[in-house]
Amino acid sequence: MMLKLPGATRLSTAALFAATMLAPWSAGAAPRALAHDFTIEQVLSAPFPSSLVAAGQGGRVAWAFNKDGSRNVWVAEPGANGAYAAHPISAYVGDDGYDLGELDWTPDGRQVVYSRGGSLEGGGPVNVRSGPSGAVGQEIWVASVDGTAPRRIGPGHSAATSPRGDAVAYIQADQIWLAPLAAGGQPTQLIHDRGRSGQIAWSPDGARLAFVSSRGDHSLVGVYDFAAKAIVWPRRGRRTAEASPSSVSPPAMRASSPTAMRPSPGRSGSAAPSLARRTACGPRAPARGARSIGWSPRRR
């Protein structure tokens, strides 16, 4: 809140502030000793936790931890006496400038999927070290609480693990990809969308995947059905073939307010999933990684 003051009062306040700030450096005044000394290095290397997320099982909590520039995934879990003990499950060393975050637990609470590389704040690839080969792309990794070394899944960001614990969906080049969580599997592009896909959200049973397709001046909400291998645009129940860019845009799903959440109606007599949505277009669109759509626990 800004306080409006009369002109004379503003001048008096400014004069008092200047006198207070300049008093220690006036002629004959002794320098004021600082109550606590610290160095620039200490300020720049202050530890910074972020991306706190709780596991669905086991009582564990994970977060990204930046300590002295080294960014790693940390986990805290309860011991036999109920007290929590924290430890890292990745071992990246040094300030390489690669961002780390967007953490997501597997359903059994034993693995954490995360994004690493570039900047997680958007804006495209960032060549933070001015490498001659260019910027390093973002990648999806998975780390285990049992001490197993983290494993690379593939290029991408904004990962979401399936409630069934067998796969992870993520965004690569504005498209939705799917990769098995088990080692040895190869990622594949799940949907070929004519727009920019994002904000993916699994249904509670893992049978469907909701997403937002941004298309410039409007955005659409789609639901991929794994059994039918097709996309349903929930507002009118429109269905398109798997991995097939539609030549005609499906009906837009725009809410009147960016914060308004509404259930999406399905076709009469169909077992349409109960899906809530928010608008994802315009200057007030959610930040990357934020999920503005979600599934109701009452339905699949």
Query: For residue 183, what are its two tokens?
Result: 């080692």
Q: Quick one: pLDDT at residue 282?
A: 39
**Whether the predicted pLDDT of 34 surpasses 80:** no
For the sheet containing 262-263, what is the strand order?
Answer: 262-263, 275-277, 294-295
User: Which amino acid type is present at position 90?
Assistant: S
Give me the residue label for tokens 């520039």. 69
Per the model's pLDDT, the better-predicted residue between 12 and 75 turns out to be: 75
Whose CA is closest to 181, among 88, 120, 116, 108? 108
- Domain residues of the chain, as ranges? 43-191, 194-300
Q: Quick one: average pLDDT of 175-188? A: 93
Q: Quick one: average pLDDT of 131-138? A: 82
Q: Quick one: average pLDDT of 145-168? A: 95
**Whether the predicted pLDDT of 160 surpasses 50:** yes
Q: Quick one: pLDDT at residue 3?
A: 45
Binned at pLDDT 50, 70 and 90, residue 37 comes out as confident
Output helix, strand, coil percentages for the chain, rounded to the nearest 5.
10, 35, 55
Alpha-carbon separation of residue 7 from 2, 36, 77 (angstroms)? 15, 38, 59
| 250/239 Cα distance (integer angstroms) | 9
**Whether the predicted pLDDT of 212 surpasses 90:** yes
Query: For residue 122, what are its two tokens?
Result: 């958007």
> Taking the CA of residue 12 as centre, how many other CA atoms within 13 Å lie in the half-sphere pointing to its CB?
5
**Whether the predicted pLDDT of 22 surpasses 70:** no
Give me the residue label for tokens 């004021």. 32
Q: Quick one: pLDDT at residue 28?
A: 58
CATH annotation of 43-191: 2.120.10.30
Q: Are 249 and 215 in contact (CB under 8 A)?
A: yes
The dihedrals phi and psi of 25, each to the nearest 5 degrees, come to -105, 10
Q: Quick one: average pLDDT of 118-135? A: 77
| 272/285 Cα distance (integer angstroms) | 26
Q: Are 144 and 110 in contact (CB under 8 A)?
A: yes
Q: Quick one: average pLDDT of 153-177? A: 95
Q: List, for residues 70-102, the tens digit of each pLDDT value.
A: 999 999 999 888 899 999 999 999 888 888 999
Per the model's pLDDT, the better-predicted residue between 170 and 267 turns out to be: 170
Q: List, for residues 247-292, the tens digit of each pLDDT value.
A: 233 333 333 223 333 333 333 334 444 555 544 333 334 445 455 6
Q: Quick one: pLDDT at residue 272?
A: 44
Q: How far, in whole angstroms, is CA 19 from its chain's centroid? A: 47
Q: Is the pTM of this model over 0.85?
A: no
Q: Quick one: pLDDT at residue 175?
A: 95
Per the model's pLDDT, the better-predicted residue between 154 and 69 turns out to be: 154
Q: Quick one: average pLDDT of 217-223? A: 89
Contacts of 177 (CB under 8 A, 6+ apart): 154, 156, 169, 170, 171, 187, 188, 189, 190
| Secondary structure of residue 43 in the 3-state scheme | helix
Binned at pLDDT 50, 70 and 90, residue 27 comes out as low
Residues in the chain: 300
Give me the residue label for tokens 């931890």. 65
Q: Quick one: pLDDT at residue 274?
A: 56
